[in-house]
Chain A
Amino acid sequence: MSSDHHAHNPGFISKYVFSVDHKVIGVQYTITSLLFLFFGFTLMMIMRWQLAYPGESIPLVGGWLGQYLVDNNGVLLPEGYNALGAMHGTIMVFLGVVPLAVGGFGNYVMPLQIGAPDMAFPKLNMASYWVYFLGGVTMLSSFFVPGGAANSGWTAYPPLSDIANTVGTHPFWNGQTIWLLAMVLLITSSLLGSVNFIVTIVHLRVKGLTMFRLPFFVWAQFVTSFLLLLAFPPLEAAGVLQLMDRVFDTSFFIPSGLVVSGVVQDQYSGGGSPLLWQHLFWFLAHPEVYVLILPAIGIVGEIIANNTRRPLWGYKTLVYSVIFLGFMSFVVWAHHMFLTGMGTKMSTFFQTTTMIISIPSVVILTAMLLSLWQASIRFTVPMLFALSFLPMFAIGGLTGLPLGLSAADIQLHDTYYVIGHFHYVVAPGTIMALLGGIYFWFPKVTGRKMSTMLGHLHFWPSFIFMNTIFFPMFMVGLAGVSRRLWDQTEYVQGVDVQSWVRMSSWGAWGLGLAQLPFIINFFYSAFAGKKVGANPWNATTLEWAAPSPPPHGNFAEVPVAYRGPYEYSVPDAKEDFHPQHVPDSQVV
Chain B
Amino acid sequence: MASSADDVRKSIRSYLMVFGALGVLTIVTVAASWLKVSVALGIFIALVIASVKGSLVASVFMHLLHEKATLFWVLIISAFFFLLLILIPVMQSYETAHLIDQVTQ
Binds A, one of B13-21, B33-41, B50-58, B76-84: B76-84
A343 to B94, Cβ gap below 8 A? yes
- Cα distance, A251 to B92, chains bound together (Å): 17
Q: Does B3 contact A (CB under 8 A)?
A: no
| B62-105 near A? 1/0 per residue, CB < 8 Å | 00000000100000011001001100100110110011000000
- Shortest Cβ gap from B80 to chain A (Å): 8
A330 within 8 A of B: yes
What A residues does B78 contact at CB under 8 A?
230
Chain A hits for B70, CB < 8 A: 202
Q: Which segment, of A123-131, A275-283, A507-515, A525-533, faces chain B?
A: A275-283
Question: Nearest Cβ in chain A — how far from B98, in angstroms?
Answer: 4
Q: Most chain-A Cβ atoms within 10 A of its Cβ — which of B91, B94, B98?
A: B91
Q: Is the CB of B99 within 8 A of A341?
A: yes
A 286-318 binary contact with B (CB < 8 Å = 1; else 0): 000000000000000000000000000000000
Residue of B nearest to A280 (CB): B88
The closest CB in chain A to the CB of B88 belongs to A279
Q: Does A342 contact B (CB under 8 A)?
A: yes
- On chain B, the number of residues with a Cβ less than 8 Å from chain A's Cβ atoms is 13
Q: Measured between alpha carbons, how far is A340 from B95 in the docked complex, in Å?
A: 9
Q: Cβ of A334 and Cβ of B91 under 8 Å apart?
A: yes
A346/B77 contact (C-beta < 8 A), A330-B84, A331-B84 known: no
A316, B81: Cα distance in complex, Å: 25
Contacts A202-B70, A230-B77 given; does A342 touch B95 at CB 8 Å: yes
For residue A269, CB closer than 8 A to chain B, the reply is no
A window 185-236: CB within 8 A of B = 202, 226, 230-231, 234
Within the complex, what minimum Cβ distance (angstroms) separates A422 from chain B? 23
A225 to chain B, nearest CB (A): 12
Q: Are B95 and A275 in contact (CB under 8 A)?
A: yes
A-chain residues with CB within 8 Å of residue B77 when the two chains form the complex = 226, 230
Q: Are A330 and B81 in contact (CB under 8 A)?
A: yes
- The smallest beta-carbon distance between A353 and chain B, in angstroms, is 11
Given that A226-B77, A330-B81 are known contacts, is A276 also in contact with B92, CB under 8 Å in the complex?
Answer: yes
Selected from B84, B85, B88, B95, the residue in CB contact (under 8 A) with A343 is B95
Task: State the Cβ distance, B70 to closest chain A Cβ, in Å.
Answer: 7
The answer for the CA separation of A3 and B78 in the assembled complex, in Å, is 43
In the complex the two chains form, is B92's CB within 8 Å of A341's CB? no
Chain A neighbourhood of B85, CB < 8 A = 234, 283
Assess whether A273 is interfacial by the CB under 8 Å rule.
yes
| Residue of A202, A226, A341, A346 touching B91 (CB-CB under 8 A) | A346
Q: Is the CB of A346 within 8 A of B95?
A: yes
A342 to B90, CA, bound (A): 12
B92 / chain A contacts, CB cutoff of 8 Å: 273, 275-276, 279
Write out the residue numbers on chain A whose beta carbons fall within 8 Å of the beta carbon of B81: 230-231, 330
B91: which A residues are within 8 A, CB to CB? Answer: 279, 334, 342, 346
Cβ of A341 and Cβ of B84 under 8 Å apart? no
Please report the C-alpha to C-alpha distance between residue A574 and residue B1 in the assembled complex, in whole angstroms. 49
Inside 8 A of A330's CB, which chain B residues have their CB?
A: 81, 84
* Minimum C-beta distance from B104 to chain A (A): 15
Give Cα A276 to B91, complex, Å: 11
In whole angstroms, what is the CA distance A275 to B94 when docked? 13
- Cα separation A59 to B17 with both chains bound (whole Å): 76
Closest A residue to B94 using CB positions: A343
Measured between beta carbons, the chain B residues less than 8 angstroms from A230 are 77-78, 81
In the complex, the 10 A-B pairs of residues with the closest C-beta atoms, listed nearest first: A343-B98, A279-B88, A230-B81, A342-B95, A341-B99, A343-B95, A330-B81, A230-B78, A346-B91, A343-B94
Query: A residues touching B (Cβ–Cβ < 8 Å)?
Result: 202, 226, 230-231, 234, 273, 275-276, 279-280, 283, 330-331, 334, 340-343, 345-346
